[in-house]
Amino acid sequence: MKAKVRFLLAIIVLGLLMTGPFVVTSLLVWAGMEETERNMLLELLMSRLPIGTMMTIFGFGIGVAVLHKLFKQYVEGLLGMAEQLRLMLSANRNFRVRLDGPPEVQQLAQAANDLAAQRDMLMDDVDSRIAQANASVEEEKNRLAALMSELAQAVVVCNLDGRILLYNNRARLQFKALSQGPTTVAGGALIGLGRSIFSILEKNQVEHSQEIIRQRLISGKSALANFVTTTRGGQLLRVQMVPVLAAAQEEGERQMTGYVLTVDNITRTLEEEARRDQALHSLTEGSRAALGSIRAAVANLIDYPEMDAELRERFVKVVDDEAARMSQRLDQTMHDFSDSMKTRWPLEDVLAMDIISAAQRRIEDKLKLPTKTEEVDESLWIKADSFSLVFALVFIAERLQDHYQIRDLRFRTVCEGKLAYLDLIWVGQAISSETFYTWEMETMQALGETSSLSLRDVIDRHGGEIWYQREKAAHRAFFRFVLPVAIPEAEIHDERRSTGRPEYYDFDLFKFEDKSIDLDRKLSELTYTVFDTETTGLEPSKGDEIIQIGAARIVNNRLLKQEVFNQIVDPERPLKPESIPIHGITEDMVRGQPNIDIVLPAFHAFCEETVLIAHNAAFDMRFLQLKEDRTGLRFTQPVLDTLLLSAVVHPNQESHKLDVILERLGISIGTRHNALEDAVATGEVFLKLLPLLEEKGIVTVRQALEAAEKTYFARIKY
C-alpha cells in the first residue's frame, strides 16, 4: 500500500511539473500587461487553448505510462524479489529468484541466487558433517552394545536413581534364571531399560556402595566397591560397582552420574568352599576325640602291664572300636567330599564333544591323521581345563603316529556316575608300560610347541586318572582319561537372538529422573507397557477368561522387542471351539500352563511404574479388573487406548480397527492375532500416532486422556 501511495504522489508531482511552469509564467506575463494587450492575448489564446490542453494531457499521459512502467519494474519488481528471497531464507531452501525485469534487477537477482547457492553448499556440508558425526556416535554405541552383549560376565549400567540404562545378554539370562516363579512367566521381567535395579539388588547395599565410592573419589583412591547380596530366591551374588563419571569439568572432583555393576553368581562356588571346609573339619576335629581315646587306652596298656586280663581286654576293645570308627569316618569323608577336595585349578564346564572336536581338528589338520568318533555322548559335560586337555590329546596322537605308525585314531566317551571316561583308541601294536610311563612324566611337546606341563600334571589338574588298556579281541588298545563329570549351570538359550541387534541400552536414560507417573509429562518421555490379551470369548462377566497375555515395553520412544512378556494362561475351563481359529490357542497349549493367579502377579510386576497402552483397552482392562478381588492386584496406572487416540487424530474415518489403522499409518507387520504380536503392533501404532497427536496440540498424558474421553468411541462400555 505504501508503494501505491508513493506512486500517486509521483503522478501528482509529474502533473505539477508539466503544468506548473507554464501557469506561473502565464500569471507573471498576465500581471505585467495592459488591458488591451490582455484582451488581445485572450483572444489569441482562447482559440488555441484546446490544442494546448490536449498536448499537455497527451504529454502527461505518456509521462504517467513511463512512470508506471518504471514503478512496476523497479519498485514492485524489487518488492517481489524481496518476498522470494524471504521464501528462500525460510520455507524453501531450494527456491530461486526468477530472472525478469530490467537488466539491473536481473543482475541483482542473479547475485542473490549465487549467494543462495553458496549458502546451500555450506549448509549441506554442515549437515553432512553432523550426519557423519552422528553416525560415528551411533556406531560407537552399537560397538559398545555389541561388546557388552558378548561379555561372559553380567554387566548392568544404572543412573543414580538405580534405573537401568544398559545391560548385556549375560545379565538378562542370569537375572532371568534368578527370577522367581515359572521362568517363562517371569520372562526376564525383572531386568529392563528404565526399570529399577532395586527389584533385583538390595537398595541399601547399592546405596551404601555408592557412598563408599563417593568417599573414595574424594580421597583420590580407586573408585570401586564390592558387596555380596542374597536374592529373594536365596542365591548369592557378588557385585562389583564402579562409577560412571561426568565428563571432566574445569577443577574439582568429577561428579558421579551413574554406575556399572558386574554381577557374579557365587552360590555354587561358595557351596563348594563350604563343603571343602566341612570335609577338612570332619577329618581334623572329628578325629581328635577318637584319637584321644586310643592314645589314653594305649598309654594305660603300656604304663600298667600288670593290669588284670578283663581290664586289658576292655582297653584293647577301646582301641579297636575307635580305630574302626576313624577308618569309617575317613571313608565317608572321602566319599562325600571327593569332588570338593580335588584340585583347586579352575576348571570350566565344557561339553566333552567340544574337547574332542577341537582335538580332532588339530590332529587332522596338523598331523594329517584321520580321526573318528564312536559312541560319543553329545550331552556329556565335563569339568576341564580345555586348553591343556586338548594339548594332551594331540600330544598322545603325535607320539602314537611317530612311534607306532597308527593310521587312524578314534574317540569314545563313557559316563560312569560322577566320572567321565574319554578314550583314545587305535589299532596296532601294544605299547609297553615303561614307554607309557615316560610319556606320562616328560613335559609335553606337540605340533612343535612345548607345554610346561607333563601329561601327569594335566591329569592331576583335573583330579583325574589315565591308564592304558588293551582290547585283545579287536586288536585294539586305548588310553583312558578319567575326568570329573560336570553338572552345567542351567543354560538358558536365547530364543530371540535372531531378531536383529538387541536393544539393551539407552543412554538417554541418564537424564531420566522422575520416577512416578506425572500426567503432565510429555507423552514421548514416558515408559509404557503395550499389551494385549487373548480370551476364551468376549464376555468377561459371563465367565470368559484370559488365555494369553502379551506385552512389550516402550522406553524413550523406542519399542523394545527384547523386553517382552508372553505367557499362555490356563483358563481352568474348556475353550470355545469357535474361538480357537481366532487366537490359534488349543487345549493342548493351555494345559500345564500356569493359571491366572500365577501369571497376573508376574504381569503386574512387568508393568510396574509404566503407563498401559492397549487397543480397545476397555476390553482388556475389564478382564484384569474382574480378577482384582481374587488376586488382590490392582492396575492403577493411567491407560491409553490406541483406538480412541486414532479417533482423536482421524475423527472422520469410519473404522479404527487395528488392521485398518496399521494400513492407514503404513505399518507392515507380519503375522497377527497372537497377543504378543498384537501388542507389538499396538506399540507401533502408538509411536506413529504421537506426532499426529502433537499436531493437534496433544502433548501430555493428561491431554491425551482428556481428548480420548471426548471421542464417540469412548462411550461404548463393556
Partner 1 sequence: MSKKILIVDDEPNIVISLEFLMKKEGFEVAVATDGDEALAKVAEFNPDLLLLDVMMPKKSGFEVCEALRADPDRAGLLIVMLTAKGRDTEVAKGLAIGADAYVTKPFSTKELVVKVKDMLGLA
Q: Where does this chain bind partner 1 (CB under 8 A)?
A: 284-286, 288-289, 291-297, 299-300, 303-304, 307, 311, 314-315, 318, 321-322
Least spacing, CB of residue 327 vs partner 1, in Å: 15
Least spacing, CB of residue 308 vs partner 1, in Å: 11
Q: Which is nearer to partner 1, 19 or 293 (CB)?
A: 293
Q: Which is nearer to partner 1, 285 or 416 (CB)?
A: 285
Q: Which is nearer to partner 1, 79 or 289 (CB)?
A: 289
User: Of 113, 88, 118, nearest to 99 (Cα)?
Assistant: 113
Helix/strand/coil percentages in the chain, nearest 5:
55, 20, 30
User: Of 85, 266, 38, 242, nearest to 157 (Cα)?
Assistant: 242
Q: Which is nearer to partner 1, 288 or 368 (CB)?
A: 288
Please calculate the CA angle 29-32-38 and round it to the nearest 5 degrees.
75
- What would the grid cell of residue 609 be? 511404574
Least spacing, CB of residue 316 vs partner 1, in Å: 11
Secondary structure of residue 300 in the 3-state scheme: helix
Q: Which is nearer to partner 1, 93 or 317 (CB)?
A: 317
User: What number of H helices and E strands is found in the chain?
Assistant: 22, 19
Least spacing, CB of residue 293 vs partner 1, in Å: 4
Least spacing, CB of residue 290 vs partner 1, in Å: 8
How far apart CA 360 and CA 338 sit, in angstroms, is: 31
CA distances 218 to 206, 225, 253, Å, are: 19, 14, 7
Least spacing, CB of residue 234 vs partner 1, in Å: 28
Secondary structure of residue 522 in the 3-state scheme: strand
Q: Are 297 and 319 in contact (CB under 8 A)?
A: yes
How far apart CA 384 and CA 358 sit, in angstroms, is: 13
* DSSP assignment letter at 407: S
Least spacing, CB of residue 430 vs partner 1, in Å: 51
The answer for residues whose C-beta is within 8 angstroms of residue 396's C-beta and 6 or more apart is 424, 439, 455, 479
How far apart CA 219 and CA 214 sit, in angstroms, is: 9
Q: Are 505 and 171 in contact (CB under 8 A)?
A: no
Least spacing, CB of residue 507 vs partner 1, in Å: 51
Secondary structure of residue 180 in the 3-state scheme: coil
Least spacing, CB of residue 228 vs partner 1, in Å: 23
Alpha-helical regions (H) of 424-560:
433-441, 455-461
Q: Which is nearer to partner 1, 318 or 681 (CB)?
A: 318
Least spacing, CB of residue 281 vs partner 1, in Å: 10
Partners of 422 in beta bridges: 413, 481
Q: Which is nearer to partner 1, 284 or 452 (CB)?
A: 284
Q: Which is nearer to partner 1, 296 or 492 (CB)?
A: 296
Least spacing, CB of residue 286 vs partner 1, in Å: 8
Q: Which is nearer to partner 1, 304 or 437 (CB)?
A: 304
Least spacing, CB of residue 320 vs partner 1, in Å: 10
Q: Which is nearer to partner 1, 322 or 545 (CB)?
A: 322
Which amino acid is it at 360?
A: Q
Q: Which is nearer to partner 1, 310 or 416 (CB)?
A: 310
Strand order in the sheet with 225-230: 164-167, 154-159, 256-265, 236-245, 225-230
Q: Which is nearer to partner 1, 321 or 677 (CB)?
A: 321
Secondary structure of residue 463 in the 3-state scheme: coil
How far apart CA 369 and CA 424 sit, in angstroms, is: 13
Q: Which is nearer to partner 1, 260 or 298 (CB)?
A: 298
Give the count of beta carbons closer than 10 Å to the beta carbon of residue 687.
18
Partners of 526 in beta bridges: none
Q: Which is nearer to partner 1, 315 or 426 (CB)?
A: 315
How far apart CA 606 and CA 618 sit, in angstroms, is: 20
Least spacing, CB of residue 606 vs partner 1, in Å: 49
Which amino acid is it at 448?
A: G
Please calculate the CA angle 265-271-277 and round it to the nearest 5 degrees.
140
Least spacing, CB of residue 273 vs partner 1, in Å: 18
Q: Are 440 and 466 in contact (CB under 8 A)?
A: yes
Give the count of beta carbons closer than 10 Å to the beta carbon of residue 370.
13
- What would the grid cell of residue 238 be? 557378588
Secondary structure of residue 274 in the 3-state scheme: helix
Please name the residue that has the C-alpha cell 552399537. 142
